[in-house]
Amino acid sequence: MYDFIVVGAGSAGAHTAYFLARYGAKVAVVEQYAVGAGGSGAAGAFISPRIGKGGPIQRWTNEAFRYCIDFYKDSPNFYPTGLLRLPKDGEDFSKTIMDVKYKPKDGGFFFPQAGVLKAKSHLEALLKDIDVIYTKAYPKFGNGVVEVAGRKAKHLILATGAWDELLDVKYLRIDKTSGVRFDLRSDLALPYSIHKKVSISANLDGIVSIGATHQRLDSPSRPQPPSMLFEEAKKMVGEFSYEIEQMYCGVRSSVNDHLPIVGELASELPKIKSFKNFDFGQIPKRNVSIIGGFGGRGFVFGPFVGDMLAKHLIHNEPIPKELDVDRYVVRYLKKGRV
């Protein structure tokens, strides 16, 4: 009997399992392919803040950035290369609000604390002392217990990213966006990473990574070919020679307000007559939680939100309303659908 079974060994699942175990829980992870096999494995894992004009997305991204920079600081898989964020064509930085350390550079913002994470090695290190079962998950519920792959637990955590087959709720939809990354063997001497329309990493042991989020899978527009990454990279740094070491493809998850989702799922949808004094605590819960919706910042949000969920489940610490999955329950109810 475990305290928690986490389904999914990407950034969301591995970080959540790590923190739950660190706080004393008995945890198992069920993964149908391999650690970091989905969107997390395809990610460039650029650790950087968000620029903008304020608002919840920038505020939470940058709070997560500050948290994860401290979390990664002693990791052998994190390379604090710094990152230069350049304006895209037509993008105006004049009214940008910055709440993290930066230096003006080349018409953009240089973030000295930013860097690149070797994602797969990092995830494997997080899970080295945690039971990982490699099989497809078919959860069964009964008597207050969930059983997955022959293991039983008191609580199930869905960290399945864009693979939403197990998410049987009508108030939440997971959006899916494809992503591509190339690792290139090159002598391109980039001392720091650069992001404009695509991201180019600093040269780490002869390898330069370029990547980008490409296309929402439900979008009718023509998908961008992988060759676009190379064209944009050369616009940024000029011509350079390379050999393709490996190509990675994955699908990332997000929701329509572009903030992470985290928290316990509703067991039923209550009928609410007035939302004036509505409290999330009025929503009945079952023994299933969700964490995800990180979009293109899986390794910025992963440690921050994973720790948040672990503290909520172990120590009953509240989840901020802007991130709690219950925000989608409330929106659904306000539309009069119950």
> In whole angstroms, what is the distance from residue 132 CA to residue 208 CA?
31
Taking 80 as the threshold, does the pLDDT of residue 88 lie above it? Answer: yes
The whole-angstrom distance between residue 178's C-alpha and the CA centroid of its chain comes to: 14
**pLDDT tens digits for 276-301?**
777 777 788 889 999 999 988 999 99
The one-letter amino acid at 61: T
**Is the CB of residue 199 less than 8 Å from the CB of residue 46?**
yes
Compute the CA torsion angle 263, 264, 270, 276 (nearest 10 deg).
-30
**pLDDT tens digits for 222-252?**
556 778 888 889 999 999 999 999 998 888 8
> In whole angstroms, what is the distance from residue 316 CA to residue 273 CA?
28
The whole-angstrom distance between residue 324's C-alpha and the CA centroid of its chain comes to: 15
The one-letter amino acid at 71: F
Q: What is the mean pLDDT of the segment spanning 187-210?
A: 91
Closest CA to 6 of 171, 170, 162, 146: 146
The whole-angstrom distance between residue 123's C-alpha and the CA centroid of its chain comes to: 13
**pLDDT tens digits for 147-182?**
999 999 999 999 999 899 999 899 999 999 888 889
> CA 329, 334, 338 angle in degrees (round to 5)?
75
Q: What is the mean pLDDT of the segment spanning 174-200?
A: 90
Please tell me the number of Cα atoms within 13 Å of 121 on its side-chain side: 9
> In whole angstroms, what is the distance from residue 213 CA to residue 235 CA?
18
Tell me the domain boundaries of the chain: 2-38+122-174+256-334
Which pTM does this prediction carry? Answer: 0.93
* 2-38+122-174+256-334: CATH superfamily: FAD/NAD(P)-binding domain (3.50.50.60)
